[in-house]
Structure 1
Amino acid sequence: MGTNFRTIAPILKKGLALSTLGVVLTALSVGIFVHFLLGFSMPVGLLLGAIISSTDAAAVFSILRGRGVHLRGDLAHVLELESGSNDPMAYFLTISLTAIAREGSFHAGELLLLCVKGFVIGALMGYATGKGSIWLINRIHLPNKGLYFVLLLALALFSYSATETIGGNGFLSIYICAVLLGSSDFVHKRILIQFYDGIAWLMQIILFLTLGLLVFPSRVLAVAGPGLLISAFLIFVARPIGVFGTLLFFKTDRRSKLFLSSGRPAGAVPIVFATYPLIAGLPESNLIFNLVFFIAVSSVLVQGTTLPAVARWLNLTVPDSK
C-alpha cells in the first residue's frame, strides 16, 4: 500500500522482468551449484535455489532510510517494485519444485500451464479485488471508524484466499490489490496505511519469533561451512547472473546493475518457504531449512551492512533534499 503505481509505471517492465526472469535465473544458478556442492538431486537443488531467490523489500528500505541514503534516478523505484513483486514467482517455483522432488517426475507442459494459469488468475483477481475494495470502502458507511480497519483486513484476506481457492497466485493478487489501494483515494486512507504499516512490523516480529522456535542453533552452526559457500555464491554470482541476464533487454548502466545485484538481501520469506519441504516430508527438508535460515541471516548481515557503502562507492546517491 506504500507503493504508488504512478512512480513505478515508468520502470514497470524492468521491475517485473527482474521479479520473474531474474528470480528464475537466480534459482537455476543456485540449484546447479548446490547440486554439485552437496550432491542433492537436481530438483532438490533447484528447490533450495527457488526458496532463497526472493528478496526482502522491507530490509532494503529500512537499511537505506536508517542510514539516510537516497538513491539516484529510478533505482529506488526499481528496488521497490522488484523486491515487492518477486514473491509470486518464488512461491510458484517453491511449490512446484517441492511437488517434483516428492513425486520424482513432472510434465513440462502441465507446469507451464499451471504457471500461466496462476499468474493470469492472480493478476485478474488482484485487479478485481483492488477496484472492488476501493469502491466498497468509499461507499459503505460504518458507524465506527475502527471498523474500517476490520473491513480492510477482511478484504485483504479475501483477495488472497479467494484467488488461491480458484487456482490463482494469491501472492500476486494481494500485491496488485494493495498497489491499487495505495494508488487511489479512499476513506481514512492515511490512518489506515499508518495502522497497517505498524501491523506489518508486528507480523514480522511474530514471524521471526515463531520461526525461531523451529531453529536449533547447534543444527544451524553445523551447516555453517556449506551455508557460507552457498551464501557467497548467491551474493557474488547468482544475484549478478539474475540481474545482468535480465537487464540485457534494457538500457541500464553497469553501476546500477552492480548495485541491483548487491542490494537485494534475502529476508523472512525464504525462511517461510523453507517450511514447505518440511510440511511435504522431503528427506532433505531439515537440512534445507537450516541452510536457508543460515543463508538468509548471513545475507542480511553482509549485504545489509555494506549496502549504503556500496551505493556511495558506485556514486549512486544524491544529497537529502531537506
Structure 2
Amino acid sequence: MSQETVYAIASGKGGVGKTTTTVNLGTALAQAGKRVAIVDADLGMANLAGFVSLSPGATTLHDVLAGDASIDDATYRLAENIVAVPSGTDLDDYAETSPEGLRDVVSELRSSFDYVFLDVGAGVSHETVLPLGLADAVLLVSTPEPAAVHDSKKTLELTDRSGGEIAGLVITRTRPDSDVSYEEIAARLDVPLLGTIPDDPSARESVYAGTPLVVYEPDGPAAVAYRRLAADLSGIDVPDRPPSGRDTTGDGGSRAADGSSGGADASVIDRTPDEGSEGREAAQDDVSSAITEAETDP
C-alpha cells in the first residue's frame, strides 16, 4: 500500500477513536521524516480544532470551502513535518460551505505532502460520502462492540457507492483477555484486518494533554500498535520514539514561539494571528475534553 498517499479514516459509528487514529498515524509518519497533513473532513461536527488551539476567529476549512480563504490560510503547524487543516465549529459558517470544494483541497494537499489523512465524519451525508471517493484508500475504524461493527457495514456500502477502495479494518480498544476474535470480525466484514489498537488509559490522558499518544506515552501498547500500523501502511521504518531534540511534542501549539502559525510549508510560511484574536485563543483543556467525549462511547 506504499503507493497510496491519501487515506480517509472512516467509521460507521462515532466515538470509536477515529480522530485519535488520524492524529497518531500522522504523527508517527511525521516522526519518520514524512510530510503529513491531517484534515478534519467532518464538516458538521468538527473536533480536530482542539489539537491546534484555534482562536474563535481563526481561518478553517469552512472558510476555504466557502471560497473566502486559501488552503494555506487554514493550515496550521502541529509539530515538525505535520500540519492540520481543521474545520470550524460555527453552524452558520458550516451552512456557507460547499463540500464539493473538498476535491480541490485534497488535490492541492496531495501535491504538497507525502501523506494526507482525512478524518471523515460518521453517519450518512454528502460530506461523509465525498471523502471516501476522493481518497486513495479508506481505513475503516471500529471497536469490537457489535453496534460499531454493524455500523461499519454501512461505511463499506457507502465506500463502494462512492467508488472508493477499502484498505482494511483497524479495531480499537481491544483487550488481550477478550474472547472476541478480531480476525473473525474482519472476515465477517470481508475486509483485511490491518491492525488492532489495545485499550490504553494513556489515550484519554494524551488527549487532555493535547499531545499525540505516540509522543505522550511512546512505549505504551496503543502507541506501539499505532507505529506498527503506520509502518505497515507506508512500507517505511517508523522510529520507536520521538527523535530527540526535535519539535515533536504536538502540544496543541499551532502557534510558533513568536505567536505565528505555520502554513502548508511550516518551515517557510509563518502567519500572524488575526488582529484582535490575542487573548481569545481556545482553552486547550476545554476543547480536548470535547474531543475526549466525542471519542468515547456513551
Shared fold (TM-score, shorter chain, > 0.5):
no
TM-score, normalised to structure 1, is: 0.26
TM-score, normalised to structure 2, is: 0.27
Q: Choose between structure 1 and 2: higher strand proportion.
A: 2
Larger Rg: 1
